[in-house]
Amino acid sequence: MNEKFKELLSPYTFKNGIELKNRVIMAPMTNFSSDDNGNVTDAEVDYYARRSQGVSMVITACTNVTPNGKGFPGEFAGHSDDMIPSLERLAKGIKDQGAKAILQIFHGGIQCPPELVDGDVVSASDITGENGEKKARGLSQGEIEEIIEAFGETTRRAIEAGYDGVEIHGANGYLLHQFFSPMTNHREDQFGGSLENRMAFPLAVVDKIKSVVDEHANSPFLVGYRFSPEEPEENGFTMGETLKLVDALADKELDYLHVSLFDFFSTPRSGVDDLEKTRIDYLLETIGDRAPLIGVGSIYSAEDAYKAFQTDVPLLAIGRELIIDPDWIQKIEEGRENEIITEIDKEKQKELVIPDPLWNAVLNTPGWFPGV
């Protein structure tokens, strides 16, 4: 192994004692490959197993905590105890290859296709489209409490199914993100209005999940939180507001925080004084030593990872590149980093063990993957 990559592949131990064999994690990516009932398929297990040999930890695609939270076709579910055997298959497929298995849990909110939720699309508030059509109805306080409970119940199922942790998906425009955003949260109760109130629902979910872990986990179990740095719209939340959320999350003694970025080295749009400083630098400053930050975003080559790791981010997640080259880590370990493939080979679906629905999405979404 090239000496410069030694730290990237060095072990990392979380505060709760769980140890990772290296600093590289598989980022969560939707693969559209479960069956119509929300069960994990053989193709899905094979896809994850193929990518679990080198990385230290795999964060799964998001799984819905309630039936009306299903955000994609072909998404595997975690909303009832009937789903535990399905969840268990995936955890085993990952762990058998030597990686820790983290179940990402979420509710899609307004992002849920109406046909997947019996037409009842919900969000933080009533939301109408440009032509006045109703796109989502606001949740009642009782329903909010039920969803908080559902996050806790899905965490219990993850524990019973053998996962090493859960990641709360508070990013990418899904329900927790919708409560934090002034664009979608127009509530006038304790869950809306001020920045503090817009943070109340995400923080309540964190508290519920941590209490479930305390009650049900017999061994160390990770709880992480993924967030978006800011919204591009003028009336969306800013980087400065996110730093306040991150500060509150770091005080919750979470095991890690995970930013959702398309470009690791991107800079803020608004809400902070220095727009030249990277988002990663701002986040590391805000979090301090309270929790490790997972960085992510367009890391393809070993050199990309090396540069990202020089920012002092302790953990690095890689997504699309592990679909392109599942042997990314092994090639660095063996000193063959120059053999890493950084563009998708359209002739190698079978060799890459990519399920048909994901393969079709890759090939039909120009600009998403290098080489397409």
d(C-alpha 244, C-alpha 242), whole Å:
5
- The DSSP output letter for 118 is T
d(C-alpha 267, C-alpha 269), whole Å:
7
- Tokens 């503090």 appear where? 196
d(C-alpha 327, C-alpha 352), whole Å:
10
User: Roughly what angle, to the nearest 10 degrees, separates helices 84-95 and 141-160?
Assistant: 50
Task: State the catalytic residues.
Answer: 174
Residue among 210, 276, 270, 212 nearest 236 (CA): 270
Output the CA torsion sign for 233, 239, 244, 249.
positive
d(C-alpha 13, C-alpha 28), whole Å:
21
- DSSP bridge partners of 19: 13
Alpha-helical runs (H) found in the chain: 42-50, 84-95, 141-160, 175-180, 195-198, 200-216, 239-250, 279-287, 302-309, 320-324, 328-333, 349-352, 356-363
